[in-house]
Chain A
Amino acid sequence: MASSGQAEVFAPWEDPNEVPLIKIAGVTKRFGDFTAIDNVSIDIYRQEFFALLGPSGCGKTTLMRMLAGFETPSEGLISIDGQDMGAVPPNQRAVNMMFQSYALFPHLSVWDNIAFGLRRDGLSKDKVAARVEEMLKLVQLGQFARRKPHQISGGQRQRVALARSLAKAPKLLLLDEPLGALDKKLRQETQFELMDIQEKTGTTFVIVTHDQEEAMTVASRVAVMDHGQLIQVATPEVIYEQPNSVYVADFIGDVNLIEGAVGAIGDGAELLWAEGRAALMGQPGADLSKGSKATFAIRPEKIAISAEEPMDRRNRVQGKILDIGYLGNLSTYHVELPEGPVVKCEVGNRSRIERRDFTWEDEVWLSWSDTAGLVLPG
């Protein structure tokens, strides 16, 4: 988080004097009876890498298509760089989109695909050629310029699509699941390449994805959506460590959820979760009131596992090991508590020759600090 106030930290959303590039204000989109977007407001700033994240059908693609101009809002306003976009058709917006299917023109060469948008602007031949060469260099595809899209690999196609959408130097670049068609290893490499290119060109990127890992890796801020509503907009760290709801906590990464009722609220909040058991202690989420229904959220990697009872920690529970998963870099233990819930705990395998002395059916203690978990409403 940008708490230190250092100059190099990029956080325009925290600066009240900064004017957002894109203002989405109270936008609702209905298709017949179905509400795809429900009163969403977001400000996106210059040079941001902004991610719209959510499960399929949450409205993220519709929101992006409204930015591109393929859909018009039923209610609300979208403005880009101060200009109301209501009546501006897609071909007159300084916005370009990289399509999920890449949508490369199959009858044109890589070179002509990239030149397509530049030619529509009526640029001179030399200028088009210079810009295309520059783009080819940016995505390192110079030697494939004369090939047709079906003559290059999937990863290369993805880069052509990126070059084509960046060629006109748009104010805003929209990326619709840009890495969805690539295999995992290539996807990870390309994520960093995307960030690199975004930094180099200084373009504002809005990416739509259902892959939370991808959103966390590339984005400066993430907007989590569900059923057409905006649930939380924050930096990846805040989204992960300070989710504002059970939905966000559950959607991003792994989490253990224990249901109960709110106990005393002081520095932290107590969650009463089982008869005759000590309350769990965690940081309070918003809108908590004593006695109301709440959920305790704790990430598996923040839980310690031990054979002896850790007397120094308030949050400690005993259970029986149900399952062990060895993943190489870490091991996960599924521990069943006598009260019912199964708690997942992750332990990093820091040294190569380590005694992993827990086994199935072992009685173990799980513990975590007072600030490791969150008490969330609902």
Chain B
Amino acid sequence: MNRLSTFNIVSLTLGFAFLYIPMLILVIYSFNESKLVTVWAGFSTKWYGELLQNEAMIDAAWVTVKVAFLSSSLATILGTMAAYVMVRRGRFFGRTLFSGMIYAPLVMPEVITGLSLLLLFIAIGLDRGVLTIVLAHTTFAMCYVSVVVSSRLISFDDSLEEAALDLGATQWEAFRLVTLPIIAPAVISGWLLAFTLSLDDLVIASFTSGPSATTLPIKIFSSVRLGVSPEINALSTIIIAIVTVGVLTASIISKRQITRRLQEEAAA
């Protein structure tokens, strides 16, 4: 192990303090006894208990998870299909235009995406609710998935799929039995990315949600406007915990896979 110089220690501390002190304060105050957010009155978990009693919050959480699951799954299917066509089907008329257009929503301001979707849903007379949020999230998450998947497909050896065809597989079998298992890690991380994006989206969701469906970010944002309650701190702490566990698990799994693969190669 390298010994860190004073300069390194200072920069490390500053950087991490900048990143994590706000969240740390939030976590600490979620255990505050007092109803006043800024005054410490001793340790308590009562706000967690109250949170569980708050049906509106629980509903919003449920809607959010449902929307995130559905939209990320849809976005993964569509995004993978788009990436596959763009990368693997060679040059066809309009390919450059299409691939440029897939990535355009990445840089499009969310307000504009949200507004245009809202106008579309009104125009076709679709009632705003869970379905419209799912569609909206699919729209913008799809391009992230296709970016992740196409970067994997670019380094994919074309002859693998040709070999599958050569051995008698149909196009669909070649994709399902050879391409998909090999690009699966990229597809999964695309799904996770889409899930996270949908989970914390506020802008697009507020354009496309209706009175019947409120997502957690919308709920939190509207309650904070009426004043920050310790309940929100508790909720945020739970979200932070979930995200932390998720990220840690994902990185542990991928690290294990890498070490296992290295060991296998060394043994060969």
Contact = CB atoms under 8 A, between A and B. Distances in A.
Contacts, number: 67
Interface in B203-257: none
B178 A91 contact: no
B168 A91 contact: yes
Given A101-B157, A103-B157, A107-B181, A91 B163 contact: no
Contact of A96 (B166, B173, B267): B166
Interface residues of A, number: 29
Interface string A100-134: 11010111000000001100110000000000000
B167 A150 contact: no
Contact of B264 (A101, A148, A168): A148
A150 B160 contact: no
Nearest to B160: A103
A121 B163 contact: no
B167 A96 contact: yes
Contacts of B160: 103, 105
Given A99-B159, A101-B159, A153-B268, A120 B182 contact: no
Interface string B88-127: 0000000000000000000000000000000000000000
B171 to A, nearest CB: 8
B165 interface: yes
Interface residues of B, number: 22
B162 interface: yes
A337 to B, nearest CB: 50
7 contacts: A90-B166, A91-B166, A96-B167, A101-B157, A103-B163, A105-B182, A150-B261
B65 interface: no
A117 B173 CA distance: 11
B169 A120 contact: yes
A120 B268 contact: no
Contact of A120 (B168, B181, B261, B267): B168
A96 B165 CA distance: 10
Given A107-B182, A150-B264, A117 B159 contact: no
A150 B159 contact: no
